[in-house]
Structure 1
Amino acid sequence: MANIQSLLSALDVFSRAPDKTSLESANNWLQEFQHSSEAWSACNVILLSPDTPLAAKQFAAQTFRMKVTYDLHQVDEANLPSLRDTLVAAVEHYHAGPRTILVQLCLAISGLSLQLPTWRNPVETMIEKLGKNPATVPSLLHFLTVLPEELTTNTKIPVTDEEYRERARTILTANARTVLDLLAMYIQASGVTHAIQSQIFNCLRSWLVAGEISAQDLTTTPLLGYAFEALGSEELFDAAVDVICDLIHETQEIEDNMPVIEVIVPQVIALRPKLQDARDDIDKVKGYARIFTEAGETYRLLVLQHTETFFPIVEAIGECSAYPDLDVVPITFHFWMRLAQSIGKKPSVSPLFLDAYKALMVVIIRHLHFPADMDSLVGQEADNFRSFRHIMGDTLKDCCYVLGTEACLMTAYDMIVNVLARGAAVSSWQEIEAPLFSMRSMGAEVDPSDNKAVPKIMDLIPTLPDHPKIRYAALLIISRYTEWINAHPEYIQYQLQYISVGFEATDGEVNAAAGQALKYLCQDCRRHLVDFLPQLHTFLSSVGSKLSQEDKMQVYEAIAYVISAMPMEQAAQSLRTFSMDILAQVHAVVSKPARATKEELQEVCNGLENLEVMLHVIQTFGDELPLSCQNTCREAWAFFDAFLAEYESDYEVCERSTRVLRHGLHFFGATVLPIVPSVLARMSAAFEKTGLPSYMWIAGKLINRFGNEENPGLRSAYRDVYERSTTKVVTLLQRKAPQDMPDVMEDYLRMLLQMLEYTPDIFFQSSAFPLAFQVAMAALTLIHSDIIFAALDLFRMMLTHDCLEPPVVPPPKFPIYAAAIRAVVEKEGLQFVGYLLSGLVGDFPEDSTSTVVTIFRVITTLWPMQLLTWLPQVLQQLPTSAAPNQVKTQFLADITNCINTKQPDRVKYAMLALHRASRRARDRRRMGPLDS
């Protein structure tokens, strides 16, 4: 009774507005209670007590379900029949609900039946107990519905594959006909209610989907006919649609199911007139659309082989596609895609299909129309419509696949020409924009050699009305057709003019589309645009200040593509021209007598972002730089060095500068070497002053690129950045938790990985090494996959370093490295092992397990006695919710045995057993004590 009272008190916390501490405390208590063996009897008392609050009864039912899944080993085998009888009696007791309790009890019985082979026929037992009294039939149907679902989907139930197959045959397969006949009897019973009929359909679906009741068996009962009749009932419509769709799906093995299909298809076709009858009821139209499309997809090959017989299904799907409500239309898209794929494999196509896809194309373009009142489309609704247009665009590609791209483009072209011919007075911009959007969607299917449809479209674009939505759509057509333009360079001049006008528009979307069009035009037509580069430079000088930064970036990216197509010396000179324009801004800010304003700094950062974009596109000119670039590296660094000396604390300056430096490092290659010590010194000082991690990021990139160089100045710079950054990170950790500065932790670890790889003499011999080890341990406490992997990789590389198991004649510094590693592990080992095991049973990423095992195996081999003194304390601190006590005891015994028998290879199995047990506990915790 004390347990029950404590349980009621814990549950009562959730009925109030609890503080976080109370909530966590109650939640933890309930989880521990659910693990306990006392929970069985306590929950039974709660369920049978009439005065217990509903929340407690729901918790008790859910606890039974969980304990049957995870804790059945707590019940003596002799008491299992008694447990079964208790649960069956509870279902009888709660036959009228609440539903949440009834379902959990039914799930518990289902899980128990799988693990109790002495229970010869659970289905027969439940039918005998609940099937004869009309009042308890609904509870029987609940059980029969969840039984196949639980047995086929609950992979947590601890049975072997062979045990599962044997019990599933006994419980499900052997009873399938009995259940089918029972459902057929119930659905015809006098006085049967709609609620029970709906349950019958849901139960039938469950056994159908589990593959236990076959479609062929179903046709021998009245259930199939009742399902189609139920479509006429408001109350049963949804359940009938579900069961008909599942039935059709289960007949996908066409040859085996032809007799059933011959029964189903006429009834499906007979539903077509109901589409018109239900036109004003969107939910019903959705239901019919699901049935037709399921039939169309499942019988697609029959549609192609026996077109005249099955084509009414295609026509019905076409009607659903034409329905004005866009919640219905996408139900049909998958069918059109699959049918188009099948048609594409046939040598000839029936005119019926050609007509269907022609009609579909017109329908889709009509759906693409923006509403006449654009103000009616706002917020999430506007976003959804725009997203949906792109999905409809994919269906237009299906039309191209069947009809040919040229024919589809000409259809859209003719629509626009006809609208223009009517005149602006009787036309709307929507009637032009929608076909334009369709042309953009179909652009991916365009043949670059097309000489019929695309030239007409390109000639049409300059004549279109100057409406922002139309210009936006036309510009995006240009961006999609640039491969075709590359094959027809005579159109480039006209397209550039159209794009330039787009940059001058007052509409931001049009500006963005112009930027995108210019970018793709320059990317695909770069060789034809070399002579246009001075024109682009002039354009940038005159219009650049009016463009948004995003649009300006697109222009610089476009220019970079053109530069990349030039002969090298010319390309180098052009890049220098554009780069120096940007670096001049940097110099101007540094040279100011007064400190730059926030706006001036932002302008410089925007310029650096544009330079980054250009370098990203151009990448490099190769190992031998052109003459124009020989001195640029030193010149550029001089600008950056002075800039960072003044403004290194500004976050945006840091980000933009370091990203450009990263690309510059790649661009200049070995030419950077003479200035690397200066760069490292600046990065080291900047991080020390600001704590901004990007400065360490660049240091890591430089060590990765030049770590093998033996230059004394470089080696000194590496040591300096290692020691100063380590001191800074340690200082930061005294003020902040690791989770409050994940970017610092990650970039620091990345730099350490490079140092360990390329400069192990500096890494191990520095006084910073013990501190670096401590920082890496702190990183293991973060719930951040990339950081965890980086930290574990660092420890793995340290502890598997050749210096710890040296060759016969070790390199001179190996003993020094080994001594440093041994000293730090012996000092930090207790805490280190604690972090490893806490992460293994806690929040480490799943893919990190093998690395943790490797590290732990090394510890077992090199520090066995120390490990045996560390483990008891570490295991004691692990939460029992993540590692139950018996699991900890077993793990300690396994590791002790591995050490005593000198079998370190068996450490892996002990670690994996601990990991699996913790995952089972975690899965259980995820459900939560109050889940139902």
Structure 2
Amino acid sequence: MANVQAVLSALQVFSRAPEKAALDQANTWLQDFQHSSDAWATCNVLLLSPEAPPAAKIFAAQTFRTKVTYDLGDMSSPDLLQLRETLLKALETYHTGPRNILVQLCLAISGLALQLPAWDDPVQDMIDAFGRNPATVPALLQFLTLLPEEVTTNTKIPITDDEYKERAAKLLTANATKVTDLLAMYLQATGVTLTVQIQVFNALSSWLAAGEVVAMSLLNSPFIPYSFQALNSDELFESAVSAVCDLIHETQEVEDNMPVIELIVPQVIALKPKLTEYKEDPEKIRGLARIFAEAGEAYRSLLLHHPETFFPIVEAIGECSAYSDLDIVPITFSFWMRLAQSIGKRPSVSPLFLDAYRALMDVIIRHLHFPADLASLTGQEAENFRSFRHVMGDTLKDCCYVLGTEQCLLAAYERITLELSRPSVSWQEIEAPLFAMRSMGAEIDPNDDKAVPKIMDLIPSLPPHPRVRYAALLIVSRYTEWINKHPDYIPYQLQYISAGFEDADQEVNAAAGQALKYLCQDCKRHLVEFLPQLHSFLATMGSKLVQDDKVQVYEAIAYVISAMPMEQAAQSLRTFSLDILGHVHALASKTTPATKEELISITHDLENLEVMLGVIGSFGEQLPAACQNTHQEAWAVFEPFLIKYGAEYSICERTTRVLRLGLTFFGPVTLPILPSVLTRMVNCFETTGFSSYLWMAGKIVGRFGNEEDPALRAAFKEVYERASSKLVTILQEKLPQMIPDVLEDYLQMLLQMIEYTPDVFFPSPAFAFAFRVAMASLTLVHSDIVFAALDLLRTIFTHECLAPATSQPPPPSFPIYAAAVRPVVEREGQELIGLLLSGLVGDFPEESIAMVVTIFRVLGAIWPTELHAWLPVVVQQLPSTAAPDQAKSSFLTDINSSIQSGDVEKVKYAIRNLHRASRKARERRRAGPLEG
């Protein structure tokens, strides 16, 4: 009774809804209780006690289901049979509900049936116990619905594959005929209720989905005719739709199921008039659309071979596609896509299908129309509609696949010209076919000389409405590969794009930026002569553009520069870069502090330069003359700029990214300025604590770490030690969890150092601190940081300086490195393995286990005595909720065995077994009281 009272007290916490800590504590206690052997008896009392509150009964039912899944191995055979009687008695008690208790009990009985070979025929026993009395039949049907799902999907039940196959055959396959006969009997029983009929349909669907009932077995059963009849009942409609769809789905192997298909198809076709009858009832139309689409997909080959018989199904799907409710229309899209794929493989196709896709294209363009009053859409509705238009665009591509892109484009073109010929036309009538043309753009032939020229000639004459201009500009951006083959159109398109930048609508500006970017990317060789025009455009229009659009323009210009001969490209890049560097220099030279607007403007300038360098990349090892001294000029501008504004976070971010790309662009010629750059990076880090300065330093080490220049190596050492010292100060004020970005960039810098500059990394006094930072980083729930920390630790432990002595004398530096590593490991080792094991049974990513294994192998090989002493203390401290006691004991035994035998390979299995046990415990906890 003490346990009963303890459970009730814990559950009461949830009803009071106190602070999160109390809820977490109560949830943890209940999860731990579920794991205990006392839970069986306690939950039996709670479940069968009339006085127990509803929450306690639900918890008891959930606990039985959980323990049947995980803990049956703890019980003897007599106890298992007793458990069966307990669960059956409980099901009898709760046969009328509540449903959540009924479901948990049925799942528990299903799980027990799967694991208890001594229970000879669970299905028949359940039928005998609950199938004779009409009052208990709903409980039986609930069990029969859940049994196939639990048997086929609950992968947590601990049985072997052979045991599973044998038991699943006994439970499901052997009973399939019996169950379908029983369900058919209930379906037609005198006085049967609608509720029972719905349950029968659900149970049949479950057995069909599990593959245990085949369609041919239902040929002479009442299920097929009754499922279609039930569509006339409002109450049964949804269940009947699912049943019909399941039946159709199970007959998709048409050659094996033709007798059943011959029974189903006339009844499906007979539903077509109901689309008119139910046109005011979207839910009914949705159900019918599901049936027609399922039939269309399942019988696709029959549609193509026998259109005279099956085409009414296509017509019905077309009507569903044309329905006004856009939540229903997508039900048909998969059918149109798959049918188009099948038609594309055939040498000839019936005109009926061509007409169907022509009609579909008209329907889709009609659906693409924005409403007359855009304000009638809420923000979310407008976003949903825009997203859905792109989905409909994919269906237009299916039309192109069947009809040919040229025919589809001409149809959309003719639709626009017809609208333009009318005295008055709404922008929606023009915009929708334009959107269709854009969607079909991915399918056009770059050599097309019929449809696309007409579209290109049409664009300049379109109405200047912002939505129309927006759609037309996006057509230009989609058709740039075609324009590349037809460069005569470039001047006209540039003119149209320039006008887009002058529009008052920001979305039109953005579309113009995108069009210019793709035009320059795909037609860059043709646009070289237009570069002065683009430079003038930036000079006159640049200040009027929002930054997102300006970035697109700079990216476009960079594509054109990349197509130039090198000397000309270098001169052009220098022209645009100096414009930006001039702004940076002017701001750095100001005697008064910069305003907020000036700082924002300069970060935009830096972003534009970053975009250009990112596109161009590099001119190679031999820099053209125009670039020879630019790196020194640029650094002469950037260094005073950083001294003055490097404490502004946005300036730090943008400047370091530009400097990083500058390293790639200029390459080895930057060597003379790198010590100065590194010193400035560490100065800025000391002043600000911004991680990007460490990131930049790490990039320099990774790119130039092999250089022997004494000044550069002294700069590496300075960065390492001063950055470490600053990080010591930061960690005295902040927890590691508060500075994940700093820790990650520091670790990444160290990873470059240990690879390229071990002579700096190991002997430095900063090494001990770097080791501690790697350990502290293991406590963060950030996969990238944990990976970096483990990678660094693994690299330290596997460095050749710690390798056993060989006949070949080691390099003179190795004993120095080893002398730095050994005392640190001996001092920090116990805490390190505690962190490794806590992460292993906690939040370490799955992919990190191999690194943990490697570190333990080295510890076992080089520090076996210490590891043997450290482990018992550390393992004991692991929470039992994350690492069960038995798993901890096995782990200790396995590790000690590997140490004693000298077989470090066994370490891998010990660690993987501990991880597997902890993962299983976590999965179980996730299915705890709050999850249900």
Tell me whether the two structures share a fold, i.e. TM-score over 0.5: yes
Is this contact kept in 2: 1:184–1:222, CA < 8 A? yes
Query: Post-superposition shift, 1:550?
Result: 0.5
The percent of aligned pairs where both chains have the same amino acid is 69
Query: Aligned residue for 1:375?
Result: 375
Instruction: Give the distance between the partners of 2:353 and 2:67, measured in 1 at CA.
Output: 57
Instruction: Give the distance between the partners of 1:702 and 1:498, measured in 2 at CA.
Output: 44
Q: Structure 1 segments of 4 or more deviating over 3 A?
A: none
Per-residue deviation, residues 212-271 of structure 1 (Å, max 9, x unmatched):
111111222111111111111111111111111111111121111111111111111111
Instruction: Give the distance between the partners of 2:271 and 2:527, measured in 1 at CA.
Output: 59
Instruction: Give the distance between the partners of 2:77 and 2:872, measured in 1 at CA.
Output: 33
Instruction: Give the distance between the partners of 1:681 and 1:864, measured in 2 at CA.
Output: 42
Query: Post-superposition shift, 1:167?
Result: 0.2
Is this contact kept in 1: 2:66–2:927, CA < 8 A? no
Structure 1 position 853 matched with structure 2 position 837: no
Query: Post-superposition shift, 1:688?
Result: 1.1
Instruction: Give the distance between the partners of 2:234 and 2:736, measured in 1 at CA.
Output: 59
Instruction: Give the distance between the partners of 1:623 and 1:190, measured in 2 at CA.
Output: 90
Query: Aligned residue for 2:874?
Result: 874
Spell out the pairing of 1:246-265 with structure 2 (5 A cutoff): 246-265=246-265
Query: Aligned residue for 2:724?
Result: 726
Query: Aligned residue for 1:227?
Result: 227
Instruction: Give the distance between the partners of 1:785 and 1:694, measured in 2 at CA.
Output: 19
Query: Aligned residue for 1:182?
Result: 182
The TM-score with structure 1 as length reference comes to: 0.99
Q: Aligned to 1:396, what secondary structure does the other structure show?
A: helix
Query: Post-superposition shift, 1:725?
Result: 0.9
Is this contact kept in 2: 1:365–1:438, CA < 8 A? yes
Query: Post-superposition shift, 1:423?
Result: 2.3
Structure 1 position 708 matched with structure 2 position 709: no
Instruction: Give the distance between the partners of 1:785 and 1:869, measured in 2 at CA.
Output: 30
Instruction: Give the distance between the partners of 1:257 and 1:88, measured in 2 at CA.
Output: 39
Instruction: Give the distance between the partners of 2:242 and 2:140, measured in 1 at CA.
Output: 21
Amino acid of the structure 1 residue aligned with 2:28 = N
Shifted more, 732-741 versus 256-265: the winner is 732-741
Structure 1 position 90 matched with structure 2 position 90: yes
Query: Aligned residue for 1:522?
Result: 520
Amino acid of the structure 2 residue aligned with 1:313 = I
Query: Post-superposition shift, 1:25?
Result: 1.2
Is this contact kept in 2: 1:443–1:477, CA < 8 A? yes
Instruction: Give the distance between the partners of 2:817 and 2:405, measured in 1 at CA.
Output: 68
Spell out the pairing of 1:347-358 with structure 2 (5 A cutoff): 347-358=347-358
Structure 1 position 432 matched with structure 2 position 430: yes
Instruction: Give the distance between the partners of 1:334 and 1:147, measured in 2 at CA.
Output: 31
Query: Aligned residue for 2:32?
Result: 32
Instruction: Give the distance between the partners of 2:303 and 2:743, measured in 1 at CA.
Output: 61
Instruction: Give the distance between the partners of 2:863 and 2:262, measured in 1 at CA.
Output: 74
Is this contact kept in 2: 1:278–1:285, CA < 8 A? yes
Spell out the pairing of 1:545-624 with structure 2 (5 A cutoff): 545-624=543-622
Q: Aligned to 2:779, what secondary structure does the other structure show?
A: coil
Amino acid of the structure 2 residue aligned with 1:67 = K
Instruction: Give the distance between the partners of 2:783 and 2:52, measured in 1 at CA.
Output: 45
Query: Aligned residue for 1:925?
Result: 925
Is this contact kept in 2: 1:46–1:52, CA < 8 A? yes
Is this contact kept in 2: 1:59–1:930, CA < 8 A? no
Query: Aligned residue for 2:492?
Result: 494
Per-residue deviation, residues 30-70 of structure 1 (Å, max 9, x unmatched):
01100000000000010110000000000000000000111
Query: Aligned residue for 2:838?
Result: 838
Query: Aligned residue for 1:688?
Result: 686
Query: Aligned residue for 1:455?
Result: 453
Instruction: Give the distance between the partners of 1:887 and 1:449, measured in 2 at CA.
Output: 68
Q: Aligned to 1:272, what secondary structure does the other structure show?
A: coil
Instruction: Give the distance between the partners of 2:854 and 2:131, measured in 1 at CA.
Output: 58
Instruction: Give the distance between the partners of 1:216 and 1:729, measured in 2 at CA.
Output: 72
Query: Post-superposition shift, 1:602?
Result: 1.1
Query: Aligned residue for 2:42?
Result: 42
Per-residue deviation, residues 175-208 of structure 1 (Å, max 9, x unmatched):
1111001000001111111111000000000000
Instruction: Give the distance between the partners of 1:862 and 1:309, measured in 2 at CA.
Output: 79
Spell out the pairing of 1:116-155 with structure 2 (5 A cutoff): 116-155=116-155
Unmatched 5+ stretches in structure 1 = none
Is this contact kept in 1: 2:11–2:26, CA < 8 A? yes
Query: Aligned residue for 2:901?
Result: 901
Shifted more, 800-809 versus 738-747: the winner is 800-809
Is this contact kept in 1: 2:130–2:139, CA < 8 A? yes
Structure 1 position 511 matched with structure 2 position 509: yes
Query: Aligned residue for 1:208?
Result: 208
Q: Aligned to 2:257, what secondary structure does the other structure show?
A: helix
Is this contact kept in 1: 2:219–2:259, CA < 8 A? no
Per-residue deviation, residues 416-449 of structure 1 (Å, max 9, x unmatched):
000000022xx21000000000000000111111
Instruction: Give the distance between the partners of 1:597 and 1:83, measured in 2 at CA.
Output: 76
Query: Post-superposition shift, 1:316?
Result: 0.6
Q: Aligned to 1:620, what secondary structure does the other structure show?
A: coil
Query: Aligned residue for 1:113?
Result: 113
Q: CA RMSD in A?
A: 0.8
Query: Post-superposition shift, 1:930?
Result: 3.0
Structure 1 position 792 matched with structure 2 position 785: no
Indicate which of 664, 672, 683 corresponds to 1:666.
664
Spell out the pairing of 1:738-749 with structure 2 (5 A cutoff): 738-749=736-747
Instruction: Give the distance between the partners of 2:389 and 2:623, measured in 1 at CA.
Output: 48
Amino acid of the structure 2 residue aligned with 1:472 = Y
Amino acid of the structure 1 residue aligned with 2:480 = T
Query: Aligned residue for 1:103?
Result: 103
Query: Post-superposition shift, 1:74?
Result: 2.0
Query: Post-superposition shift, 1:931?
Result: 2.4
Is this contact kept in 2: 1:749–1:790, CA < 8 A? yes
Amino acid of the structure 2 residue aligned with 1:847 = E
Query: Aligned residue for 2:624?
Result: 626
Query: Post-superposition shift, 1:848?
Result: 1.0
Per-residue deviation, residues 67-126 of structure 1 (Å, max 9, x unmatched):
011111222222110011110111011000000001001100111111100100000110
Is this contact kept in 1: 2:613–2:662, CA < 8 A? yes
Query: Aligned residue for 2:773?
Result: 775
Structure 1 position 639 matched with structure 2 position 629: no
Unmatched 5+ stretches in structure 2 = none
Is this contact kept in 2: 1:799–1:855, CA < 8 A? yes
Per-residue deviation, residues 461-503 of structure 1 (Å, max 9, x unmatched):
0100110000000000000000111111111001011000100
Query: Aligned residue for 1:401?
Result: 401
Shifted more, 757-766 versus 798-807: the winner is 798-807
Spell out the pairing of 1:248-287 with structure 2 (5 A cutoff): 248-287=248-287
